[in-house]
């Protein structure tokens, strides 16, 4: 069953996803009692949200929907259709942040907290620039249109461009300040990614005038990462999420990589659902073989590589830095205070 299902594909039973337990429950008119607390379907279910919400949550919206600060007007049905698919990608990303133990501080409860403006440049009067500022991530819903997104991908010379990719990149900007708590850690980051205090505007002008340096593959995961140290960190963070998220899915569906005629000495590679406590070397070793398998599968269907990127030594070091910072920042039940479970910050 896919994470985005609204009903059972076999019996058509209406389903709701419980974010803390990571399980589906049958939903109906009455709240579902889970550990003595009532839960019911999110009020945005008609727009594709399948998450459950506590009975005392504001406006009957689930944790993910409450993180959306702005959305299209109620009469903009075309934009709202695009919102549904973008929210789907956002929920998938939030579940990964939960699994990684990353703290999520909602925008409406904390200064500089995480929030999303999901609006469309195709709506009248809207000018939308994808980006991040003070915790708020802005996404252009128009990019959920395949032809528009593909045209931009080609024009910008990108090998990969998806809505989930945008979200993972922009949330990387948010987490850079979260994961680097002191000046000493920032200095380590600067030694790898460069000095983020350099002019961002000058970097943009230079990048779009001259492009990436000719030898960029020796130091960066993508051309866009070369623009500025902020973008290098965000791109690296996004790829960490790409890699660990895909490995987790591979583990859950039972994919493994065994020796074959071309690689008779290869030990069995078994992806893990959870790489906490593991080294970046283990993660990237598993990924090297699993991504090779996925690339082969894609080519057998006539598509390009699933993961058309090369991880060179300096990029390995950057990914290792991100992994180390995430390992040091893990907390249990990342979202429990925001969802409403009793904590020191939310009296029960």
Query: Which pTM was predicted?
Result: 0.91
Confidence of residue 343 (pLDDT cuts 50, 70, 90): very low
User: What own/partner pairs with CB < 8 Å and gap ≥ 24 does 287-291 have?
Assistant: 287/243, 287/246, 287/247, 287/311, 289/257, 290/246, 290/247, 290/250, 290/255, 290/257, 291/243, 291/246
Residue 337: the pLDDT is 54
pLDDT tens per residue, range 199-214: 999 999 999 899 899 9
Residue 196: the pLDDT is 96
Confidence of residue 5 (pLDDT cuts 50, 70, 90): confident
The arithmetic mean of pLDDT across residues 269-294, rounded, is: 94
Q: What percentage of the chain exceeds 90 in pLDDT?
A: 64
Going from the C-alpha of 274 to that of each of 28, 94, 165, 219, 251, the distances in angstroms are 33, 16, 21, 28, 9
pLDDT tens per residue, range 114-139: 999 999 888 767 788 889 999 999 99
- According to DSSP, the residues that pair with 119 across neighbouring strands are 140
pLDDT over 70 (residue 269)? yes
Confidence of residue 148 (pLDDT cuts 50, 70, 90): low
Cβ–Cβ < 8 Å for 15, 51: no
Cβ–Cβ < 8 Å for 70, 117: yes
pLDDT over 60 (residue 348)? no
Confidence of residue 32 (pLDDT cuts 50, 70, 90): very high
Residue 344: the pLDDT is 39
């Amino acid at each position: 069953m896919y994470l985005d299902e609204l009903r059972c594909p076999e019996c058509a039973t209406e389903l709701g996803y419980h974010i803390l337990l990571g399980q589906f429950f049958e939903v109906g008119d009455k709240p579902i009692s889970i550990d003595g607390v009532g839960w019911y379907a999110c009020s945005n279910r008609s727009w594709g949200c399948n998450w459950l919400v506590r009975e005392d949550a504001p406006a009957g919206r689930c944790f993910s929907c409450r993180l959306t600060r702005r959305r299209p007007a109620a009469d903009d049905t075309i934009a709202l259709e695009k919102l549904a698919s973008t929210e789907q990608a956002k929920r998938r990303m939030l579940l990964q942040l939960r699994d990684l133990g990353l703290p999520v501080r909602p925008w409406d409860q904390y200064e500089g907290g995480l929030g999303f403006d999901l609006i469309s440049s195709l709506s009248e009067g809207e000018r939308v620039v994808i980006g991040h500022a003070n915790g708020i991530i802005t996404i252009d819903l128009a990019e959920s249109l395949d032809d528009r997104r593909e045209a931009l991908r080609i024009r910008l010379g990108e090998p990969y461009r998806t809505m989930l990719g945008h979200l993972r990149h922009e949330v990387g900007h948010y987490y850079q300040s979260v994961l680097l708590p002191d000046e000493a850690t920032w200095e380590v980051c600067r030694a790898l990614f460069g000095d983020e205090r350099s002019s961002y505007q000058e970097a943009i002008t230079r990048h779009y005038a001259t492009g990436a340096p000719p030898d960029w593959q020796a130091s960066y995961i993508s051309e866009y990462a070369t623009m500025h140290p902020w973008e290098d960190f965000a791109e690296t963070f996004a790829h960490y999420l790409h890699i660990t998220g895909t490995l987790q899915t591979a583990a859950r569906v039972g994919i493994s990589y065994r020796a074959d005629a071309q690689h008779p000495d290869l030990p069995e590679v078994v992806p893990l659902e959870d790489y906490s406590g593991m080294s970046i070397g283990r993660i990237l070793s598993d990924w090297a073989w699993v991504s090779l398998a996925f690339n082969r599968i894609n080519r057998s269907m006539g598509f390009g590589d699933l993961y058309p990127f090369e991880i060179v030594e300096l990029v390995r070091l950057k990914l290792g830095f991100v992994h180390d910072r995430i390992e040091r920042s893990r907390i249990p039940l990342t979202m429990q205070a925001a969802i409403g479970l009793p904590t020191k910050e939310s009296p029960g």
